[in-house]
Amino acid sequence: MNMDGPLDFENEDPLVNPPPSAEKRKKVIGLDDLLSDFYKEKSKLIDRGNRKRKASSKLCDSDDDERGQEALLSIIVDDCRNQMNEICSEEDTQEWGLCLFGDQKAPTRSLLADLDNCYLLKEFLTSQLNSVVDLSPDNGTAFLEGLLANGWLTKLILTCARVETIICKWTLDILLYSPKEDLRSSACDFWCSILLSQNEVNGAPVEIQWLPNYQILKEALESYGFRINSSQNVELPEADSKSQGPPQNIRAWLKFVAACCQIRCKKPIFNASQLEQIAEVLVWLLLDRGLQGLLLLLQECLISVTESFKEEEWVSSCKNLANSLASRVPQDMNCLRIVESVAGVDARSKHLRSTIANQMLVVLLEHKSQESDENLMSSLMSINLKEKSCNLFRTYMMLVLAENWLLSSKLVEEKPVLRDMWAVFLRNCFCQINSTDLRPFASKVRTKASYLLQGCRSD
């Protein structure tokens, strides 16, 4: 036994005695095998290219379809947006407003008198007070302007209870034409005080030696650039770029007219025809956007004019005024502006509002003014709002005018048949127009009718 040799189990260990490696057999590769492998690889490349082209074509087709759908959707959205913009623009462009004042001119006549002959000024010159104020004929005008601006002239006249012609003309000229705000305002306060003193019960009225007439006030308006001419039957033109707009003196003019009307029962300065023309001017002024800050003053002045009519004058004068306005006001939002701006705070202003609305409705429906109220309502009820050719803006105007005509008077109380016909017309306006109707003014007509129907049901 070999003591240095490996043990039996060690001989069996493959790590100690690894098995002999088998010799690799070399294979001879021929030309046919090379060609076969080449064509297999080439066919694989062709198949891979075909698959890529099919995948890319499918992707392009899907992209083209998506792009086409997006383009079609964009066109539809743009069309809807354009239609909505057209509808909104048509409703938004319907605005009220007229430019009633153009370029101002110099007054055609001057009321200024020679103050050297003023009795009041002479009294100051000869009085002991002259030593204090150092008054002279040269500074007499400045002295009187100081008295007027500080209110002392008004207090002095009210105390003396007498105002001479020269002072009347001088202060009225300042009121109508002065560019100085303090003098203009003081002259207005002066005239309002002496005019309204005629209505005092306990105190003695001021003796006024001279009062203006309607022609003076009309000439003042013309010098302000007022465009309206009662003899014309045309729409008012728009103001040009040189227009100066409403004059500064219009506020004093309105206050003075109101004061003259408030004393008509004591001192009738205007006759009924002239009052009609003044009322028409005031209504026209409600259409000037430049005078929106004077809306309350305009309404108060109009109330003073309407209240100055005698009972036997009012009904016919109100009808004449409404006829003149209805025949000349443009048939647009200005119709509604005039009616809704006449403040219905007293019986006569409500009557005027109702009459103007009635006459404008007659003109819109091309009726004769002597036709009955029932025929007027029948024409409103016969309007087919479902027709695409129906002018809904015109319908909206007639709806608002009919509301002011009927609800500003007692017609619906005196004639129940008118109330029933009114309710039918409102239901037509609500039911014949769908909530999805995109015609201009469709939503306004429907909403207005729905609101008014609630009042009919509550009655």
Name the burial class of residue 348, with classes exposed (0-12), middle (13-18) and buried (19+) by CB atoms within 10 angstroms of its CB: middle
Conformational region of residue 106, where left means phi above 0, alpha means psi within -120 to 50, and beta covers everything else: beta
Asked if residue 434 is part of any domain, the answer here is yes
Written as one letter, the residue type at 252 is: A
**Phi and psi at residue 208, in whole multiples of 5°?**
-100, 115
Asked if residue 114 is part of any domain, the answer here is no
Q: Could you tell me whether strands 207-208 and 162-163 are parallel, antiparallel, or unpaired per DSSP bridges?
A: parallel
Q: What is the pLDDT of residue 132?
A: 62
Q: Positive or negative, the Cα torsion across 284, 287, 290, 292?
A: positive
**Phi and psi at residue 309, in whole multiples of 5°?**
-70, 140
Asked if residue 14 is part of any domain, the answer here is no
CA dist 44 and 66 (Å) reads 33
* Whether pTM exceeds 0.95: no
Domain of 385?
377-459
Q: What is the pLDDT of residue 48?
A: 78
The gap from C-alpha 253 to its chain's centroid, in whole angstroms, comes to: 25
Place of tokens 């400045």: 142
Asked if residue 391 is part of any domain, the answer here is yes
What are the 10-residue block averages of pLDDT along the chain, 459 residues in total? 59 59 54 69 76 67 65 74 59 76 81 77 72 67 89 91 92 94 95 90 82 94 80 45 72 96 90 95 94 94 95 94 92 92 90 95 86 90 92 94 92 89 94 89 93 77
What's the farthest any 2 CA atoms get from each other in the chain?
176
Asked if residue 174 is part of any domain, the answer here is no
Q: Count Cα neighbours of 221 within 13 Å in the Cβ-side half-sphere.
A: 21
Which among 329, 334, 447, 350 is positioned nearest to 397, based on CA atoms? 334
Asked if residue 454 is part of any domain, the answer here is yes
Q: What is the pLDDT of residue 216?
A: 94
Long-range own/partner contacts, residues 434-439 (CB < 8 A, 24 or more apart): 438/83, 438/84, 438/87, 439/87, 439/388, 439/392
| Number of domains forming the structure of the chain | 1
Q: Residue 144 in contact with residue 121, Cβ under 8 Å?
A: yes
CA dist 357 and 225 (Å) reads 29
Asked if residue 411 is part of any domain, the answer here is yes
Asked if residue 393 is part of any domain, the answer here is yes
Q: What is the pLDDT of residue 230?
A: 42
Q: What is the pLDDT of residue 241?
A: 43
